Chain A
Amino acid sequence: MKTARRIPLLKKMLAQLGIEVERVRLDWVSASEGDRFATIVNEMTEQIRQLGPFNRNGGSENG
């Protein structure tokens, strides 16, 4: 399906543009998997917190 192909290609391009690929995550969750949804969102939120706000000048190396 298209999303499954678009996201990996997008990540490759984002890496070329110096954007941390960890800022993009693709997962599939069904409506009946509430717990799993919560886990994924929490994980992603924490990941983004670690990365910090997106800053035009400077990747995560500079903080």
Chain B
Amino acid sequence: MAKPKLALYWAAACGGCDVAVLDTNEKILDIANLADIVFWPIAVDFKYHHVKAMEDKSIDLCLFNGAIRSTEQEEIARLLRDKSKVMVAFGACACFGGIPALANFTNREEIFQRVYHEAPSNNNEDGTIPLLQTSVAEGELELPELFDTVLTLQQVVPVEYFVPGCPPPVDLILKLVDLYASGKLPPVGAVVASDKTLCDECERIKEEKKVTRLYRPHEIIPDPEKCLLEQGIICCGPATRGGCGLRCIEANMPCRGCFGPPPGVIDQGAKLVSAIASIYQGDSEEEIKKMVEEMVDPAGTFYRFGLADSMLKRKRLQQTEGRM
């Protein structure tokens, strides 16, 4: 009986999700025994043409990490979708857009301006920028085109399962592998994590959620026993799915929302506006103004991992013809 075929791919990603799979340490050998890894650019030498030559649906499980922001990433997402029985959006970027999706506050032109021209550390007097096509002596060179808008995997191809996290914790990865191996995968569309909020799972002492000022993480050293929100630190726990093992909380840092919205919440950022504004004590116009000033960057803080997945998906493009 042939072993099931496993593929992994990284789109607009940092490599952390691939490292997380390797972080399963000796259990990676169990994974390698369980499945044939037929494609994994970071670790194995198979190329795109190997995938193109496969029959449709011949890959049993594909763990796709990274968001979609270029023509190449879109093409490979579609290719792997055709060749795979089960497609998993692996990690916060594939699930919600992740950190790359913060580019949705701007557009390709502004990014190119900044990266290739304005950045203070640049040494680019000739103003060289990447071009879609360049002629060199050896022939034509082509580069993928970048989109104005970063997309989640599901916005490009249908996805069966979601494993959130930046990166997904080792035990969730192993849980997914285990569910697959034992044939006990949940109904399609499931998120392999907890169904509660992080706040629910947090073990810190919670008294009354009432604060009179907001602190940014560098402004205060938090008490490691007490609820961070109650100390005035913005913690996304109330509107973030649990199941991460509280790795940040245990490092005395607030939750940043990398597991995405909890069940039943469509827009994580909006829910966080509601939650943070609710616990702030202050009814006078001045106190409210103070709160709004203390909350330095609501959009970036509340949509840190989920801008592509939000209801608006991106900041409004000013030109009447945006690419996406």
Residues of A within 8 A of B (CB): 1-2, 4-6, 8-10, 12-13, 16-19, 56-59, 61-62
A61 to B44, CA, bound (A): 51
| Residue in B283, B314, B316 with the greatest tally of chain A CB atoms within 10 Å | B316
Closest to A5 in B: B277
Indicate whether A62 sits within 8 Å of B292 (C-beta atoms), given known contacts A6-B274, A9-B276, A9-B277.
no
Contact B316 A19 (CB under 8 A): yes
A25 to B273, CA, bound (A): 16
**Which chain B residues (253-280) contact chain A, with CB distance < 8 Å?**
269-270, 273-274, 276-278, 280
Closest to A11 in B: B292
Q: How large is the interface on B (under 10, 10 to 19, 20 to 34, 35 or more residues)?
A: 20 to 34
A50 → B minimal CB distance (Å): 17
* Contact partners of B312 in chain A: CB under 8 A: 17, 19
Indicate whether A59 sits within 8 Å of B277 (C-beta atoms), given known contacts A12-B295, A13-B298.
no
Indicate whether A58 sits within 8 Å of B277 (C-beta atoms), given known contacts A12-B292, A12-B298.
no
Contact B318 A59 (CB under 8 A): yes
Indicate whether A57 sits within 8 Å of B292 (C-beta atoms), given known contacts A6-B277, A17-B299.
no
Closest to B275 in A: A6
Contact A10 B319 (CB under 8 A): no
Contacts A9-B273, A19-B316, A62-B320 aside, 9 further interface pairs with beta carbons under 8 A come to A4-B288, A5-B288, A6-B277, A10-B273, A10-B277, A13-B273, A16-B298, A18-B316, A62-B318
| Residue in A2, A5, A62 with the greatest tally of chain B CB atoms within 10 Å | A5
Indicate whether A5 sits within 8 Å of B319 (C-beta atoms), given known contacts A13-B302, A16-B297, A17-B299.
no
Contact B278 A2 (CB under 8 A): yes
Which of A1, A9, A18 sits near B295, CB closer than 8 Å? A9
Contact B321 A9 (CB under 8 A): no
Indicate whether A4 sits within 8 Å of B319 (C-beta atoms), given known contacts A9-B276, A17-B299, A17-B312.
no
* Contact partners of A5 in chain B: CB under 8 A: 277-278, 280, 282-283, 288, 291
